[in-house]
Structure 1
Amino acid sequence: MQIATDSPQALTAIRTDLGAIFVSMELSRSIWLITSLLPGSGEKLSKHVVRAGDIAGLMARFTQLRAKARARTGCSYPIIVIQEAGLDGFWIHRVLCKEGIESHVVDPASIATSRRRRRAKTDRIDGEALVRALLAHKRGEPRVCAMVRVPTPEEEDRRRICRERKVLLADRIRHVNRLKGLLFAQGVTGYQPLRRDRRERLEELMTGDGRPLPMHLKVQIGRELDRLELLLEQIRAVESERDTLLAAEPTAMPAPAAMLLDIKGIGPEFAAILWSEGLFRHFANRREVAAYAGLAPTPWQSGSVDREQGVSKAGNPRLRTALIQLAWLWIRNQPQSALTHWYQQRVRLNGGRLKKSTVVALARKLLVALWKYVTAGVIIEGVVMKAA
Structure 2
Amino acid sequence: MSGRKSTQATVRICGASSLSKTSWVCAFAVPGDNKATAHKIKARDVDRLISILNSSKTKAEHQLSRPLRIVLCYEVGYDGFWLARLLMARGIRTVVFDPASFLMPRRGRRAKTDRLDAEGMTRTLRTWLSGDREVARDVLIPSVEQEDAKRIERERKYLVEERTSIVGRIKGLLALHGIWLNGKRIGKRLLERLDIMKTGDGRPLAPFLRRDIERMLRHYDFVSQQIEEVIAERKAALVDGLGRFPHAEKVQRLATLGAVGETTATVLVAEVYHRSFETRRHVASFVGLAPSPYNSGDTGRDRGIHKAGTKLARQTLVELAWFWLRYQPNSKLSLWWHERFGGMGMRGRKVGIVALARKLAIALWRFVEQGVVPEGATLKV
Same fold (TM over 0.5): yes
Question: 1:11 aligns to what?
Answer: none
Question: 1:267 aligns to what?
Answer: 261
SS for the counterpart of 2:141 is coil
Contact kept? 1:137, 1:145, Cα under 8 Å: yes
SS for the counterpart of 2:140 is coil
Of 141, 151, 154, which residue of structure 2 is paired with 1:150? 141
TM-fit CA distance, 1:228: 1.0
Of 102, 107, 113, which residue of structure 2 is paired with 1:111? 102
Q: Residues 276-287 of structure 1: matches in 2 within 5 Å?
A: 276-287=270-281
SS for the counterpart of 2:195 is helix
TM-fit CA distance, 1:326: 0.6
Of 343, 346, 353, which residue of structure 1 is paired with 2:340? 346
Are residues 1:126 and 2:126 paired? no
> Whole-Å Cα distance in 1 between the matches of residues 346 and 217 of structure 2?
44
Question: 1:197 aligns to what?
Answer: 189
> Whole-Å Cα distance in 2 between the matches of residues 353 and 30 of structure 1?
47
TM-fit CA distance, 1:349: 7.2
1:21-80 residue CA offsets vs partner (Å, 9 max, x unmatched): 110111111111111111232x12111111111011101101210121022112231110
Contact kept? 2:10, 2:69, Cα under 8 Å: no
Question: 2:170 aligns to what?
Answer: 179
Amino acid at match of 1:40: G
Amino acid at match of 2:104: T
Question: 2:379 aligns to what?
Answer: 385
Amino acid at match of 2:326: R
Amino acid at match of 1:262: T
Of 265, 284, 288, which residue of structure 2 is paired with 1:290? 284
> Whole-Å Cα distance in 2 between the matches of residues 178 and 254 of structure 1?
38
Are residues 1:325 and 2:312 paired? no
SS for the counterpart of 2:166 is helix
Amino acid at match of 2:235: D
> Whole-Å Cα distance in 2 between the matches of residues 242 and 231 of structure 1?
17
TM-score by length of 1: 0.91
Contact kept? 2:257, 2:379, Cα under 8 Å: yes
1:127-156 residue CA offsets vs partner (Å, 9 max, x unmatched): 233112211221122433211011100111
Of 8, 13, 16, which residue of structure 2 is paired with 1:21? 13
> Whole-Å Cα distance in 2 between the matches of residues 382 and 299 of structure 1?
31
Count of aligned positions:
372
Segments of 5+ residues of structure 1 without an aligned counterpart are 1-15
Contact kept? 1:25, 1:83, Cα under 8 Å: yes
C-alpha spacing 1:94/1:206, structure 2 compared with 1 (3 Å):
same
> Which deviates further from its counterpart, 179-188 or 204-213?
204-213
SS for the counterpart of 1:141 is coil
> Whole-Å Cα distance in 2 between the matches of residues 184 and 159 of structure 1?
38
Question: 1:228 aligns to what?
Answer: 220
C-alpha spacing 1:327/1:28, structure 2 compared with 1 (3 Å):
same
1:225-282 residue CA offsets vs partner (Å, 9 max, x unmatched): 1111111111111111122223347988781100111011111210110111111111
TM-fit CA distance, 1:353: 5.8
Are residues 1:255 and 2:249 paired? yes
Question: 1:372 aligns to what?
Answer: 366
Question: 1:13 aligns to what?
Answer: none
Contact kept? 2:247, 2:269, Cα under 8 Å: no
> Whole-Å Cα distance in 2 between the matches of residues 259 and 249 of structure 1?
15
SS for the counterpart of 2:163 is helix
> Which deviates further from its counterpart, 361-370 or 75-84?
75-84
Question: 1:94 aligns to what?
Answer: 85
> Which deviates further from its counterpart, 190-199 or 271-280?
190-199
C-alpha spacing 1:142/1:223, structure 2 compared with 1 (3 Å):
closer
Are residues 1:136 and 2:117 paired? no
TM-fit CA distance, 1:194: 2.1
C-alpha spacing 1:351/1:313, structure 2 compared with 1 (3 Å):
closer
SS for the counterpart of 1:32 is strand
Contact kept? 1:249, 1:255, Cα under 8 Å: no
C-alpha spacing 1:305/1:349, structure 2 compared with 1 (3 Å):
farther
Of 234, 244, 248, which residue of structure 1 is paired with 2:236? 244
> Whole-Å Cα distance in 2 between the matches of residues 343 and 249 of structure 1?
39
SS for the counterpart of 1:290 is helix
TM-fit CA distance, 1:121: 2.4
C-alpha spacing 1:268/1:351, structure 2 compared with 1 (3 Å):
closer
Contact kept? 1:33, 1:47, Cα under 8 Å: yes
TM-fit CA distance, 1:346: 1.0
> Whole-Å Cα distance in 1 between the matches of residues 251 and 61 of structure 2?
51
> Whole-Å Cα distance in 2 between the matches of residues 154 and 254 of structure 1?
12
TM-score by length of 2: 0.92
1:198-226 residue CA offsets vs partner (Å, 9 max, x unmatched): 22222231111222222222222111111
Contact kept? 1:300, 1:307, Cα under 8 Å: yes
> Whole-Å Cα distance in 2 between the matches of residues 88 and 142 of structure 1?
24
C-alpha spacing 1:249/1:208, structure 2 compared with 1 (3 Å):
farther
TM-fit CA distance, 1:364: 0.5
SS for the counterpart of 1:204 is coil
